[in-house]
Amino acid sequence: MKKNILLLASLAVSTIVLAQTKPSFGIRAGVSHAGIQGEAVNSLQNLLSFSNGAITTSGSTGFFGGGYVSVPLSDQFSIEPALYYSQKGYELKGDLNIKGAEFLTAGAKAQLSTTYIDIPVVAKANFSGFQIFAGPQISYLADAKLRTTAGALGFNILDKTMDAKSQFNQWDIALTGGIGYQFGNGVNISAAYDHGLSKVDANKNFDSYNRAFKVGIGFQF
């Protein structure tokens, strides 16, 4: 993993050194809808047990934001390393086997909230403002919390939050890509998809991977 980080850093530095024109800096923020695809339920078995009932999963909506450097290679092509704070996670609903609250299990919910530091380095093509970009991304897991809730007769009886960071892989490798548009006044918009390649559970026993759609707005100085 350290080799991958050094490779991305070397690529970014080399691109800046070889740039034909002065790099531009920018900021970007937006909304993300993330989830975990694959054996998502199994990846939390060390923290939470499930009954034989139906379990449904859904994504989690969060925020991402940070800064980037646009390094022009020509009039149409550039390299863009970036650093983002990104909220991810997913949600489980169904028959959860919650000790001490068995009578509430049918309507229980478990919500995983994770925070990552995303470091993408993308190649970008610009056609009169319209942009296409793609590249690798390395992410560091900064925090992971699992919240379980259950209720009866409209009342929230159980609400428990636990630290789940130790159950997940500290590093994540992904491919990211998308489209965008750069306006003449510096404002830009983008839509991207992150496709995780690393198993998210700490022991890498389950085929569970991060996936995320991101829509953002930025400003390039």
CATH number at residue 24: 2.40.160.20
Q: Give whole-number Cα distances, 191 to 18, 107, 125, 160, 169, in Å.
A: 28, 35, 15, 35, 26
Domain count, the chain: 1
Of 82, 108, 84, 78, residue with least CA distance to 31: 84
Q: What is the DSSP track for 19-60?
A: -SS--EEEEEEEEEEEEEEESTTGGGTTT-EEEEEEEEEEEE
Query: Which pLDDT score is estimated for 120?
Result: 96
Q: What is the value of pTM for the model shown?
A: 0.80
Between the alpha carbon of residue 30 and those of residues 66, 187, 212, the distances in Å are 10, 13, 12
Distance CA 115, CA 49 (A): 24
Structural domain that includes position 206: 2-220
* pLDDT tens digits in sequence order for the chain, 221 residues long: 555 555 555 555 555 555 556 889 999 999 999 988 877 656 665 555 544 445 567 788 999 999 999 999 888 999 999 999 999 988 876 655 555 555 445 557 778 899 999 999 999 999 999 999 999 999 999 999 988 777 665 556 677 888 989 888 999 999 999 999 999 999 999 999 999 999 888 887 778 899 999 999 999 99
> The dihedral of CA 164, 169, 175, 181: what is its sign?
positive
